[in-house]
């Protein structure tokens, strides 16, 4: 469920608070890794949710301001204080006092091939992320591999930065007995404006020995 990518909204909101471009991409990588931490409870894989075309899923999170890393003052000069931006009075009606509101919407935009899109934003922090994913499946003996074809873009409007990221593959193992899921493959995170990039490799469990979820 793509809403699980926002299981730690406080880390998502802290990205834009980095004083430098280097700090911001480090915070984004930290958040990116937490996006795969939350999932269905239990080790047994289950059939994913399959919405009909035109159906949308909406949810939101109220994030206490004191849970978000504060804005950092850089050597180049002060940044704006949290909650004192021009949008604060506008958003005051939508969010409880002392909280940020993060809104999320997802939609199944195609069935053949299966393509999903989702968008998430926090207007108070002037940041949003949108992504499109084609889940391309193939059988691999006792496993099913799912390639996440597509990409996402995180926009930090305050810094005029865009971070383009990809998603790992997912594998359903032991599909005829007790199925379980793991991630695998290499993903990239790039910011064209700053020139910073990151690569994350998800290691699948070896056939003999080894550990899972590395």
With helix as H, strand as E and coil as C, how does 2-32 read?
A: HHHHHCCHHHHHCHHHCCCHHHHHHHHHHHH
Looking at the chain, the whole-number percentage of residues with pLDDT higher than 70 is 82
User: Which region among 75-79, 98-102, 181-185, 194-198 has the lowest average model confidence (pLDDT)?
Assistant: 75-79
Q: Is 69 exposed, middle or buried (0-12, 13-18, 19+ CB in 10 A)?
A: middle
Report the DSSP pairing between strands 197-202 and 161-165: unpaired
pLDDT of residue 158: 94
Sign of CA dihedral 129, 148, 201, 4: positive
3-state secondary structure the chain: CHHHHHCCHHHHHCHHHCCCHHHHHHHHHHHHHHCCCCCCCCCCCCCCCCCCCCCEEEEEEEEEHHHCCCCCCECCECCCCCCCCCCHHHHCCCCCCCEEEEEEEEEEEEECCEEEEEEEEECCCCEEEEEEEEEEEEEECCEEEEEEEEEEEEEECCCCEEEEECCCEEEEECCCCCCEEEEEEEEEEEECCCCCEEEEEECCCCCCCCCCCC
Long-range contacts of 111-117 (CB under 8 A, 24+ apart): 111/53, 115/150, 116/2
* Residue for token pair 């700053």: 194
pLDDT classification of 98: cutoffs 50, 70, 90: confident
Tens digit of each residue's pLDDT (9 = 90 or more) over 130-172: 999 998 999 988 889 999 999 999 999 999 999 999 999 999 8
- Residue range 26-49, pLDDT digits in tens: 999 999 998 887 555 556 656 666
Residues 144 and 138 sit within 8 Å (Cβ to Cβ): yes
186 pLDDT higher than 70? yes
CA 55 to chain centre: 21
Q: How far apart are CA 25 and CA 28, in angstroms?
A: 5
Which residues face 163 on adjacent strands? 154, 191
Given a cut of 90, whether residue 12 has pLDDT beyond it is yes
CB contact at 8 A, 143 and 45: no
């Amino acid at each position: 469920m793509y809403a699980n990518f926002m299981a730690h909204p406080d880390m998502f909101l802290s990205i834009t608070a980095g004083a430098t471009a280097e700090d911001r991409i480090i915070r984004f990588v930290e958040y990116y890794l937490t996006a795969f931490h939350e999932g269905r409870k239990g080790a047994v894989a289950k059939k994913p949710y399959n919405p009909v075309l035109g159906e949308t899923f909406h949810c939101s999170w109220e994030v206490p301001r004191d849970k978000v890393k504060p804005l950092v003052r850089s050597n180049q000069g002060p940044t704006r204080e949290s909650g004192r931006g021009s949008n604060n009075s506008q958003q005051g009606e939508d969010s409880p006092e002392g909280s940020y509101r993060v809104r999320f919407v997802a939609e199944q935009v195609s069935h053949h091939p299966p393509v999903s899109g989702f968008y998430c934003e926090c207007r108070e922090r002037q940041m949003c992320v949108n992504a499109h994913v084609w889940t391309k499946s193939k059988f691999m003996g006792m496993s099913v591999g799912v390639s996440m074809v597509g990409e996402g873009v995180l926009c930090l409007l305050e810094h005029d930065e865009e971070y383009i990221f990809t998603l790992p593959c997912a594998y359903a193992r032991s599909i005829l007995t007790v199925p379980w899921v793991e991630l695998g493959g290499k993903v990239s995170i790039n910011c064209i404006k700053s020139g910073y990039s990151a690569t994350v490799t998800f290691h699948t469990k070896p056939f003999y020995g080894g550990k899972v979820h590395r």
